[in-house]
C-alpha cells in the first residue's frame, strides 16, 4: 500500500494536454500559418494580432474565474456594450476621458455584481441568470443609445480617448499593455492570493468550501463583479478603437471568451484550470482568426474550421467532467 500513489496516475494524453497542450497547440498553429503565409510573422501583423486578441483575452480572464467556480457568464458582451455606451456618452458630455473610462469600468463591475447577487442570494443557476441579464443589459443599451451608435467630435478628436484603444506606446499598441497588465494582476489574484485559492475551492466543492470557512456568496459576487469589470475594460478598448459606442457591440463575445477558457484547459465543471492556459486559449483563437484571414479562407469555412479546432482541443482534454 506504501507508494502506490506514485504510479497511480499513469500518463495520459488528456493530462498532458491540460498541462502543456494548449501551448503546443498554439505553437503548431503558428508554425502552420507561418509556413502557409510568411507575412504572418511580420512584426506589424503580430502587433495587430495582439491588439485583436486583447478584447477577448480581457473578457476571458474574468470568465476564467467564473468558470473555475463552476459558473458561466453569458452577459459579458452586453456589459461591454452598455458600459461602452455610458463612457461614450460621458465623453460627449465633456467628462475627461480618463474619468469616463474609470466610470465605465466601475459600471461594468456593478452590472457584474448584479449577476453575482442573483446567483449567490437568488440561487439562480448562472447560465439562466446571466442569459436573462444578457437580454436585459442589451435592451438597456438599446434604450440608452436609442439604437444609434454614440459618436461625435468630442470622441474622434480626443487624443486621450482615442489613445486607449488606438494608441501606440514605443511602437506597441496600447491595448496590448492593458492586456498584459490585467493578465499579471489576474494571474497573481488567482495563483498567489487567498482569493484565488477560495475560487478553486468553491469550484471544487462549494459545500466543503463553505464548511472550511469560505464565504461562498461574497466570493461569488466578487467574482462576477470582476468578470463585469474586465468586460467593461474590454468595452473601453473597443469603444476607443472604433471611436464609437455600438449598441450591438459584443454580441456573442461570451462564446469566444468561453472557448478561450476551455481551449486553455479549464474544465467547465469548475475547480480546475490555469490563467496561463486562458491567455494561450485567447491567443489560439486570435491566431486562428488572423491566420485564416491571411490565408484568404472564406468566412463560411472559417466557422467550420474554428468549430473543429475547438472540438479537437476539447476531445484531447478528455478530463472534462460530467455530462
Partner 1 sequence: KAVSLTPPTFGGTHTTKKSKDKLKVGVSLSTLSNPFFISVRNGINDVAKQNGTKTEVFDAQNDSSKQSSDIEDLIQKKVDVIIINPVDSDAIVPAVKDANNAGIPVIACDRGSNGGKLLTTVASDNVKAGKMAAQYMMSKVPKGGQVAELEGTPGADAAIQRGKGFNTAAKNNLKIVTKQSADFDRAKGLSVMENILQAHSSIQGVFAQNDEMALGAVKAINNPDLVVVSIDGEPQGLTAVKQGKISGIIAQSPEVEGQLAIKAAYAHYQGKSVPKHTTSPIHLVTKENVSKYK
Partner 2 sequence: MEIDMQHISKAFGPNVVLKDVNFSVKGGEVHALMGENGAGKSTMMNILTGLLEPNGGSIKVDGKETHFASALEAEQHGISFIHQEMNNFGEMPILDNMFLNKEIKTRFGFIDNVKMKAIAQKSLAKLDVKLDLNQPIGNLSVGQQQMIEIAKSLMTDAKIIIMDEPTAALTENEIGKLFDVIKSLKAQGVGIIYISHRMEELFEISDRVTVMRDGLTINTYNTKETNVKQIVHDMVGRDMGDFYPDRHPKFGKVMLETNKLTREGVFKDISFSVRSGEILAFSGLMGAGRTEVMRAIFGIDKLDSGTITVNGKQVKISNPSDAIKDNIGFLTEDRKSEGLILDDSIADNIDLPSIEGFVKHGMIDRKADRDFVNLLMKRLTVKANSAEDEAGSLSGGNQQKVVLAKWVGSGSQVLILDEPTRGVDVGAKREIYDLMNELTDRGTAIIMVSSDLDEVLGFSDNIAVLYEGKLMGVVPTATATQESVMTLATGGEN
Ligand X SMILES: Nc1ncnc2c1ncn2[C@@H]1O[C@H](COP(=O)(O)OP(=O)(O)OP(=O)(O)O)[C@@H](O)[C@H]1O
- The runs of H, that is alpha helices, within the chain are 4-8, 13-36, 43-68, 76-92, 97-120, 126-145, 153-156, 159-166, 174-192, 194-204, 206-211, 216-242, 253-263, 275-294, 299-316
Q: Which does 156 bind (CB under 5 to 8 A by kind): partner 1, partner 2, its own copies, none?
A: partner 1
Least Cβ distance, residue 204 to ligand X (angstroms)? 16
Torsion of CA 222, 225, 226, 230, to 10 degrees: 180
Q: Name the grid cell of 11.
A: 500518463
| Choice between 89 and 166, CB closer to partner 1 | 166
| Choice between 5 and 298, CB closer to ligand X | 5
86 contacts: CB under 8 Å, gap ≥ 6: 103, 104, 107, 144
The residue from 152, 160, 167, 204 that contacts partner 2 (CB under 8 A) is 204
* Per CB under 8 A, 156 contacts its own copies: no
Q: What is the SS3 assignment for 28-67?
A: HHHHHHHHHCHHHHCHHHHHHHHHHHHHHHHHHHHHHHHH
Q: Which does 159 bind (CB under 5 to 8 A by kind): partner 2, its own copies, ligand X, none?
A: none
* Per CB under 8 A, 188 contacts partner 2: yes
The residue from 8, 123, 207, 322 that contacts ligand X (CB under 6 A) is 8
Binding to partner 1 (CB under 8 A) within 138-177 occurs at 142, 145-149, 151, 156, 159, 162-163, 165-171, 173
DSSP, collapsed to helix, strand or coil, labels residue 150 as: strand
Q: Which does 102 bind (CB under 5 to 8 A by kind): partner 1, ligand X, its own copies, none?
A: none
Residue span 41-60 as binding mask against partner 1, x where in contact by CB under 8 A, dash where not: -x-xx-xx--xx--x-----
DSSP state of 245: B
Residue span 192-231 as binding mask against partner 1, x where in contact by CB under 8 A, dash where not: ----------------------------------------
Q: What gap in Å lies between CA 208 and CA 309, rounded to an integer?
A: 36
Binding to partner 1 (CB under 8 A) within 285-304 occurs at 289-290, 293-296, 298-300
The Cβ of residue 133 has, within 10 Å, a number of other Cβ atoms equal to 24
* Per CB under 8 A, 170 contacts its own copies: no
Least Cβ distance, residue 61 to ligand X (angstroms)? 33
Q: Name the grid cell of 46.
A: 503580430
* Per CB under 8 A, 275 contacts partner 2: no
The Cβ of residue 214 has, within 10 Å, a number of other Cβ atoms equal to 18
* Per CB under 8 A, 320 contacts its own copies: yes
Q: Return residues touching partner 2 (CB under 8 A).
A: 1-10, 188, 192-194, 197-198, 200-201, 204-205, 207-215, 271-272
Q: Return residues touching ligand X (CB under 6 A).
A: 4, 8
Amino acid at each position: 500500500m506504501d507508494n502506490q500513489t506514485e504510479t497511480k496516475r499513469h500518463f495520459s494524453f488528456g493530462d498532458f494536454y491540460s498541462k502543456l497542450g494548449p501551448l503546443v497547440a498554439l505553437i503548431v498553429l503558428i508554425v502552420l500559418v507561418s509556413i502557409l503565409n510568411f507575412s504572418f510573422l511580420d512584426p506589424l501583423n503580430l502587433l495587430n494580432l495582439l491588439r485583436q486578441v486583447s478584447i477577448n483575452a480581457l473578457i476571458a480572464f474574468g470568465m476564467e474565474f467564473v468558470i473555475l467556480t463552476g459558473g458561466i457568464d453569458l452577459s459579458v458582451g452586453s456589459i461591454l456594450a452598455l458600459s461602452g455606451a455610458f463612457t461614450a456618452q460621458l465623453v460627449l458630455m465633456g467628462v475627461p476621458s480618463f474619468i469616463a473610462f474609470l466610470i465605465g469600468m466601475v459600471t461594468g463591475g456593478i452590472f457584474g455584481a448584479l449577476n453575482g447577487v442573483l446567483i449567490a442570494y437568488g440561487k439562480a443557476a448562472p447560465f439562466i441568470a446571466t442569459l436573462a441579464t444578457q437580454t436585459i443589459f442589451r435592451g438597456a443599451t438599446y434604450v440608452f443609445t436609442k439604437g444609434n451608435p454614440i459618436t461625435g467630435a468630442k470622441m474622434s478628436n480626443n487624443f486621450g480617448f482615442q489613445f486607449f484603444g488606438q494608441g501606440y506606446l514605443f511602437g506597441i499598441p496600447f491595448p496590448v499593455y492593458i492586456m498584459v497588465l490585467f493578465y499579471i494582476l489576474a494571474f497573481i489574484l488567482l495563483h498567489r492570493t487567498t482569493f484565488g485559492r477560495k475560487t478553486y475551492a468553491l469550484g471544487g466543492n462549494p459545500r466543503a468550501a463553505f464548511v472550511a470557512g469560505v464565504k461562498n456568496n461574497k466570493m461569488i459576487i466578487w467574482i462576477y463583479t470582476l468578470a463585469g469589470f474586465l468586460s467593461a475594460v474590454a468595452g473601453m478598448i473597443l469603444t476607443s478603437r472604433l471611436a464609437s459606442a455600438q449598441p450591438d457591440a459584443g454580441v456573442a463575445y461570451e462564446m469566444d471568451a468561453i472557448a478561450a477558457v476551455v481551449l486553455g484547459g479549464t474544465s467547465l465543471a469548475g475547480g480546475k484550470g490555469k490563467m496561463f492556459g486562458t491567455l494561450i486559449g485567447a491567443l489560439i483563437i486570435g491566431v486562428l482568426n488572423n491566420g485564416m484571414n491571411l490565408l484568404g479562407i472564406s468566412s463560411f469555412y472559417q466557422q467550420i474550421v474554428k468549430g473543429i479546432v475547438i472540438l479537437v482541443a476539447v476531445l484531447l482534454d478528455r478530463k472534462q467532467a460530467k455530462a
